[in-house]
Structure formats: structure tokens, C-alpha cells
Structure 1
């Protein structure tokens, strides 16, 4: 995510006015947007300090401990 400001700046100030497709004259911004979204997904879903994986695992563990789950409430 350290490249996020660079990618956003490249989209806003350089490639944004050239259109969507990266192969257009001057280069578009779709490739940069894909890199930005993929890097955000890796940060959020990976095993790093900012990931959601441990938070989601903690929520499912708490649901098991309290006996509450969506499937259990539907089945009853």
C-alpha cells in the first residue's frame, strides 16, 4: 500500500484524462486502478498487521463460544 499515493497521483494527474483503456494514446488509467485494488485486497486479506483475517477469525470464534450463528438461527 506504500504505492497507493503514487498510483492515485498517476491516475489523477497523468492518466485520468486519457480515458479508461491503458493502450489508448497517452495510456489510460484502468491498469493503475487494477493494481490499486489488488494491493488493497492483499493488505486486507493477507496475514499482515492490517489484515481482516484475524478479526474475522475472532468474530467466528466468539460466535461459536456464545452458540450464535446465522445457520443455527435459521434452523431453529
Structure 2
């Protein structure tokens, strides 16, 4: 048990050292590539609202809106 905790803590310290030691340009690139744009959240929320409305309406087909709610850049 103690050996597993020591390995875990060593791994965490190693990852932290790598993150701190990376140049700022690498950290910025990682943040840009791993962040999700706001329009994705808006579309996911819209689709969830459509699904919930459909589920509460005893299975009738939802209205399909072909107009985008937010412009994708």
C-alpha cells in the first residue's frame, strides 16, 4: 500500500515538473487545442432541450429547426 502511494506521488510530482518546465508557447498550444469553443456548448444545450421536449411529449417527433442558433466561426 505504501509503495503504491509513493509511486502515485512520484508520478504526480513528475507530471507537475514537466508541466512547469514546458515553455509558455507549448502550454498555450495545449490550452488552445484542449478547450471547447462556446458554440459547441450552445449547440449541445439546444440539442438536449430538443431531446427533453421530445421525451416529455410521449415520443412524438420533435420539430426540426434547420436554422443554426449561433454562427460557427
> TM class by shorter-chain length?
0.3 to 0.5
| Rg larger for | 2
TM-score normalised over the length of structure 1? 0.38
- If asked which structure has higher relative contact order (CA below 8 Å, sep 6+), I would say 2
